[in-house]
Homo-oligomer: A and B are copies of this chain.
Amino acid sequence: MMNYPYPQLERPSFKWNRNVNEDPKVHEWIQTIPDEGDMDWSNVDVTILGVPLSRSSISASAASENPDAMRRAWKSFSTYNIDYDIDLSALRVVDLGDTRQHVTDIETCHRHVVEAMESGRKIHPHTIPLTLGGDHSITAMLIKGLKRAEPHNRIGLLQFDTHFDLRDLETFGPANGTPVRNLIESGTVKGEDVYNIGLHGFFNVKSLKTYADQVGLQYVTMREARRRGVESVVNEAIKKLSEKVDTIYMTVDMDVLDMTQGPAAPASTPGGMRTDELFEAVTLAGTSPHVKAMDIVCLDPTKDVGDFTIKAAVHTMLSFLTGLSMRGK
């Protein structure tokens, strides 16, 4: 059996029995690394990474179970998107497995995430990394890994989120409430290169808004986005970021969704984004060649109702790949 190429990773815990045919389901299409022999990375388009970490979440969360839950839910989706007449099966997508975890040492868990992203950028730099969290703390680690691999890359953040995620690092450490602060304070991403869409209601304290303004962070509240149209807001965000940065990293915190459509995101709220708006937004972002990485975080599948959120998350991932497929068309 081949040595697994990443020391920080383990293979996915299970492998679907793939029936290769004309009309695949998503679980039959996404590949894993072969048990024996070497992997040919040359024609891989997208690599999927699971980060089963949520002990760094402020409130108790089982977002650690999300990567496997999304893998199981792939079975309900075909690769063909009728809205855009695009078949994703033209892309080659490889599931790398999950970052290794330590039960009581969160720092080690985070280090594995940084290193896995860094290694990936070195082993197969041409692929688009798509990460399935885990809680939002991992976004800071993923972007740090990216920065380590490509130090001169100016990275911007397109964030779909009900929250700023700008809480105080000293009090919380690298938790799911602090990744954006972490990135700004560590100099990895500039405040002005962050663009948040989805803030609304009573879910951010005033001092964080003040901080956001001080560092020049850009944001459009959900209420404003709804009035202007989510598509137009996303277009503007991408346009603005593209003028400044080399790479747009897109992070989707599932709590951006209205809580009735994202009940498994423990911090989702009433009045949030609808799934059809999110799919539209993410597809659109996928079409931009500046968007070179994506993650989906803060989905605790044990809290789901009728698989609403887990299916929305898979659809979000596939919507991004749809946009990706349309690039240059």
Contacts and interface: CB of A to CB of B under 8 A. Distances in A.
Interface of A: 10-17, 22-23, 26, 54-58, 60-65, 77-83, 85, 87, 102-106, 137, 172-175, 177, 199-209, 221-224, 226, 258-261, 263, 269-271, 275-276, 279, 300, 302-303, 305-308, 311-312, 315, 318
A260 to B, nearest CB: 5
Contacts of A275: 258, 260, 270-271
B80 A205 contact: yes
A43 to B, nearest CB: 21
Contact of A270 (B104, B173, B201, B311): B311
B22 A207 contact: yes
The 9 closest A-B pairs by CB, nearest first: A104-B173, A23-B205, A60-B62, A55-B55, A263-B306, A80-B206, A270-B275, A77-B202, A103-B175
27 contacts: A12-B17, A15-B17, A22-B206, A23-B208, A26-B202, A55-B55, A56-B103, A56-B104, A60-B65, A78-B204, A79-B202, A82-B203, A82-B209, A83-B221, A87-B206, A103-B175, A104-B172, A105-B106, A201-B315, A258-B261, A259-B307, A270-B275, A270-B276, A271-B275, A271-B276, A302-B302, A305-B306
Given A23-B206, A270-B276, A270-B311, 8 more contacts: A60-B63, A82-B201, A83-B201, A83-B222, A103-B173, A260-B261, A270-B308, A303-B306
A248 B55 CA distance: 32
Given A260-B261, A270-B261, A303-B306, A205 B78 contact: yes
A58 to B, nearest CB: 5
A200 B205 CA distance: 38
Copies in the complex: 6
A270 B308 CA distance: 7
Contacts of A15: 14-15, 17
B78 A203 contact: yes
Contacts of A11: 17
A279 B224 CA distance: 14
Given A16-B13, A60-B65, A202 B270 contact: no
A111 to B, nearest CB: 13
Most chain B beta carbons < 10 A, residue from A13, A205, A258: A205
A15 B12 CA distance: 10
A178 B303 CA distance: 28
B260 A271 contact: no
B311 A209 contact: no
A306 B55 CA distance: 22
A323 to B, nearest CB: 14
Contacts of A306: 259-260, 263, 303, 305
A226 B280 CA distance: 12
A212 to B, nearest CB: 10
